[in-house]
Structure 1
């Protein structure tokens, strides 16, 4: 019997005061933490573009991802090369995107979305127009930390 690890991902869009704008969560079978976080960043960029936001600050607690995206050249791990390339293309589009590393304590709402995404039943992606009630306190905590 072959067992696959379930990976969760998630992210959210907030305005400059920390107010929720939109969010998402997903699950994948297999993969890695780097891959799930790269996919979450890519999905978040597409979501921001689709909502018409053209000035972004993207925070990630994955130093490897931030370092990889900040460097030029190809990714050593070929599995994620395509995703990294797509993120770089999106970032270099007709908008301003600043990517920065943030301590995990400043991104507890996104972590909650990722953990909850891993437990989704029946679906592999969920777009959230409104924050789940469980996120209210975490969003306030994040806005005080990040904002």
Structure 2
């Protein structure tokens, strides 16, 4: 009797890193460098929903409800200005929907009490807060790792 061939073990990044295969992004109009975010998401083939000023808040936005209905995605990155109340609203809505959430604020100024309070609200609600530079570094790290044990055999 032949031995069954074992299936390769799949490697998934830790939850506090960004999983390229299991994440999506939401770009709020308040983010100062939206073009860089669009380029970054395309480079890693991560779905991105870019919102406009005319769009309603996240919890009342049909586009976001459709995006959050994607069952394979477990993480969402929300890009917006630290002083934008929709950064907090979208992050909290995603968190309550069951996602691991990373907020990427532009222009954080922790000498400004409102920026500091926004950051604290995000952290108090279990939202990971990262700089765009940290997102790039984490995506590069995750991309450099083998996806399963069969890739290790070829090294």
Measured against the shorter chain, the TM-score band is 0.3 to 0.5
* Structure having the higher Rg: 2
TM-score of the two chains, using structure 2 as the length reference = 0.31
More helix by percentage: 1
Q: Which has the higher contact order (CA 8 A, sep 6+)?
A: 1
TM-score of the two chains, using structure 1 as the length reference = 0.32
More strand by percentage: 1
